[in-house]
Amino acid sequence: MPPQLVAGGPRVLLRRLREIMAERQSAQARLDKLVTVVASNMVAEVCSIYLRRAGGELELFATEGLNREAVHRTRLKPGEGLVGLVAENAAPLNLSNASEHPSFSYRPETGEDPYRSFLAVPIVRGERVFGVLTVQNRTARHYEEEEEEALATIAMVLAEVVAQGTLVDLSELDETELSPTKPALLQGEGLSEGLAIGTVFLHEPRVKVERMIADDPAAELRRLEDALEALSISVDAMLESPELELTGDTREVIEAYRLFANDQGWRQRLMDAVRSGLTAEAAVERVQDETRARISRTGDAYLRERLHDFEDLARRLVRHLAKSDGQSEALPDQAVVVARAMGPAELLDYGRNRIAGLVVEEATQTSHIAIVARSMSVPLIGGVEGIADLARSGDAVVVDAENGEVRIRPPKEVINVYRGKQALLAQRVAQFAAIRDEPAVTLDGVRVSLNMNAGLLLDLPHLADSGADGIGLFRTELQFLIGAKMPRLADQIALYRQVLDAAGGKPVVFRTLDLGGDKIPSYSRTVREENPAMGWRAIRIALDRPGLLRYQLRALITAADGRSLRVMLPMIAEVDEFERARALIRKELDRAGRVGLKLPQDLQLGAMLEVPSLVFGLEQMLSSADFISLGSNDLLQFAFASDRTNPNVARRYDTLSPTVLNLLRHIATTAQAVKRMPSISVCGEIAGRPLEAMALVGLGFTSLSMQASTIGPVKMMIRELDTRLLRPMLLELCRSRAKSIRAALAEFAERRKVPIGRG
Ligand code: PEP
Ligand code: MG
């Protein structure tokens, strides 16, 4: 009979472990006893504990079954051997024949030759891997799932004891370096605009789990059920709260969050963990650790986003278990909340107008937290690695979302500089407001159309406050990315209708779904691609799965309800793709006619110019499409073979280099030759940067689309620009051999008093 977990199951074992930990003996004696008990309970011939020393080496701390002399002698380098692999991946390993595994490393001093089967789990607490717990047997067998579960539970209890520092002196173990008093400048990405000067408030540093093992598992299960019920009620209450007044995208985000709160799989895993003998709090932590490990192994950005929702829920659940509202500490004035990760509901918990800024390590453009922060108008910087370890509650902090910079504990003089900037910003906002309703016309009379990019309902109010001429790029995929499930036809119609209503006759360019690449909805199956940006995305998906595009066109035609409609196709690489998509649109228009829908009074169809091949098919494209929009973000990443999402290369080439200038000039002159120039607009990031926009206007581009907040600064630049002076200089710079022409253009702007300062 194969050996199995026996003797009363994990509960008995956990009780026994608790007794051992409470014994008055040396730490080594307790560890020795622990491995013996685990080995005998799991009917394993070997049980060993490896802990991570400072420097990352894994040291054998205790063993039952291997040679005792190897204890404190056997050390494995980070990643070395099977044990190193488990620590590195923070994931269990279950092998029936360990020596066949490519990572197996033989250590003669341990005497482990006779043991073939091998089960190891990481000893993890939160984000930190303390070590590895293993069991081994002579027979080549595969350990059962319950055995793996049991070992993981033991490892978790062990992690807790190690973290308390009573077993091993923590200073001897691997520890992140902290330097809590020095000023620090950290770089991240501005995800919600603004500048905040305030005081750090560390978000929920971790709810401390005091008790790991339940005295009465049945009662514990009831506690968990009560807390889950209270959690559901509190999320419902948040949706109904008159004070929060959740609308639009924030509401959608919280509705998705509610689905997670009621996720049966999550609830079941929690209950199973309690049934195995853990307290409810420990069960939450255990399930969270597993979810985190599982998701980080996939490396999928969107799954990681879902993880933040689960983390938020887990923390909220633990607060319900403790029957606290979680806001016990008072927020300082001008609080800047710093978090490793934060969910959307947690941000709402802080309440509107109570925080001045936010810094979240794991937040990206499309994070739920970013969406809610923008709707609350709270400046947010994401992707700031290590800040939660570096900052302390009460530290002075500056959050400059424009530059993606966070300064912790800055000297007074630096704070004063930012105060000056804040005052200037307020002044500039007033100046932009003053020219909001004035046209963007250069000194020599060139009229430039300034439009905004949008994608969510919360962008719409900016149409009026920015003075945009229209929406030059509506990214329809965002609706698909923020929800927990695929938007139905009715949802799509509702969104497009609201956009057209809000635009009130101003032109809106709807870009059809630009999904794929790094934009994968949480509910769709992910297919790993080696080069996702160049993979199966955008128009390629649309042509291979025409149903999706037709469905979207149906929604657009219905929402237009007889009004004008502008539709743009992303990632067109050759004219044929455009024509095939156009045929689908004709079919959809025919269908609309047959079912008696009101047809759009006119339907213009455009293509995005963002794949370099199309530059060489531009003349044909210009005579086919009604308009073209130059997506410089993608066009430049492909032209320079430089991944826009990879920080090591994203800023390697200047967007104001002679090469870029020549590329843009070629596009402009080709378009002028076909006499279609007014129909090429630019909608990538460069359109919203005054200096780049100056070059674009100088080359002859007269339609730009950008983030709403940059319309003011760009318009201010245009109104002081004389293209007759700039143009000859640009043509000259096209011949330059310099890496960048930025300085030359800035010098021109300064000399000619063209304002190019941002925000
Ligand atoms: C672009 O590529 O420039 C563009 C505007 O599209 P997106 O940034 O959505 O890829
Ligand atoms: Mg693009």
Which atom of ligand 1 is nearest the CA belonging to 514? 9
Q: Is 84 close to ligand 1, i.e. is its CB under 6 Å away?
A: no
Ligand 1 midpoint to CA 645 (Å): 12
Which atom of ligand 1 is nearest the CA belonging to 683? 5
What pLDDT does residue 180 have?
43
Ligand having the closest approach to the CA of 511:
1
Ligand having the closest approach to the CA of 451:
1
From 514, 615, 638, 642, mutation site for ligand 1 pocket: most ligand atoms within 8 A of C-beta: 514
Alpha-carbon span 640 to 642, nearest angstrom: 5
Ligand 2 midpoint to CA 632 (Å): 7
HSE-CB at 396 with a 13 A cutoff on CA atoms is 12
Ligand 1 midpoint to CA 699 (Å): 21
Ligand 2 midpoint to CA 742 (Å): 24
Rounded to two decimals, what is the model's pTM?
0.61
Which residue's CA lies nearest to atom 3 of ligand 1?
Answer: 631
Q: Is 712 close to ligand 1, i.e. is its CB under 6 Å away?
A: no
Q: Is 516 close to ligand 1, i.e. is its CB under 6 Å away?
A: no
Ligand having the closest approach to the CA of 684:
1
Q: Is 633 close to ligand 1, i.e. is its CB under 6 Å away?
A: yes
Residue from 142, 203, 683, 734 carrying the catalytic annotation: 683
Q: How many CB atoms lie within 10 A of CB 602?
A: 11
Ligand 2 midpoint to CA 20 (Å): 60
Alpha-carbon span 44 to 24, nearest angstrom: 27
From 683, 689, 692, 707, mutation site for ligand 1 pocket: most ligand atoms within 8 A of C-beta: 683
CATH class of the domain comprising 9-172 = alpha beta
What pLDDT does residue 13 have?
79
DSSP state of 278: B
Q: Is 475 close to ligand 1, i.e. is its CB under 6 Å away?
A: yes
Ligand 1 midpoint to CA 629 (Å): 10
Ligand having the closest approach to the CA of 655:
1
Which residue's CA lies nearest to atom 1 of ligand 1?
Answer: 631
Q: By the 8 A CB rule, do 571 and 514 touch?
A: yes
51 backbone dihedrals φ, ψ, rounded to 5°: -120, 155
Topology of the domain comprising 632-682+684-753: TIM Barrel (3.20.20)
| Residues 503, 566, 499: CA angle, nearest 5 degrees | 30
> What are the 10-residue block averages of pLDDT along the chain, 759 residues in total?
47 80 82 91 93 87 94 90 89 91 89 92 80 94 87 85 71 48 85 92 71 86 92 86 74 80 86 90 86 70 72 84 63 92 82 87 80 85 88 90 91 85 84 93 98 84 90 91 82 96 96 84 73 91 93 97 98 98 96 96 97 96 95 95 79 93 96 82 93 97 92 96 98 96 97 82
Q: What is the DSSP string of 145-189?
A: HHHHHHHHHHHHHHHHHHHHTSSS-GGGB------TTS-EEEE-E
What pLDDT does residue 556 have?
98
Site of tokens 């759009």: 600
Q: Is 537 close to ligand 1, i.e. is its CB under 6 Å away?
A: no
Burial of 697 per CB tally in 10 Å (0-12, 13-18, 19+): buried
638 backbone dihedrals φ, ψ, rounded to 5°: -75, -40
**Domain locations along the chain:** 9-172, 632-682+684-753
What pLDDT does residue 171 have?
64
- Rg over alpha carbons for the chain, rounded to the nearest Å, is 30
Residue from 203, 308, 320, 368 carrying the catalytic annotation: 368
Ligand 1 midpoint to CA 633 (Å): 5
Which atom of ligand 1 is nearest the CA belonging to 637? 2
Which residue's CA lies nearest to atom 6 of ligand 1?
Answer: 631
Alpha-carbon span 382 to 358, nearest angstrom: 9
Q: Is 631 close to ligand 1, i.e. is its CB under 6 Å away?
A: yes
Which atom of ligand 1 is nearest the CA belonging to 685? 3
What pLDDT does residue 302 have?
65
Ligand 2 midpoint to CA 667 (Å): 17
From 459, 512, 568, 608, mutation site for ligand 1 pocket: most ligand atoms within 8 A of C-beta: 608
Residue 72 appears among annotated catalytic residues: no
Residue 47 appears among annotated catalytic residues: no
Ligand 2 midpoint to CA 398 (Å): 32
Alpha-carbon span 282 to 217, nearest angstrom: 12
329 backbone dihedrals φ, ψ, rounded to 5°: -75, 135
Q: Is 683 close to ligand 1, i.e. is its CB under 6 Å away?
A: yes
Which atom of ligand 1 is nearest the CA belonging to 610? 2
**Three-class HEC string of 677-702:** HHHEEECCHHHHCHHHHHHHHHHCCC
Alpha-carbon span 746 to 758, nearest angstrom: 13
- For 37-79, the pLDDT digits (tens) are 999 888 999 999 999 887 788 999 999 999 999 999 999 988 8
Which atom of ligand 1 is nearest the CA belonging to 633? 3
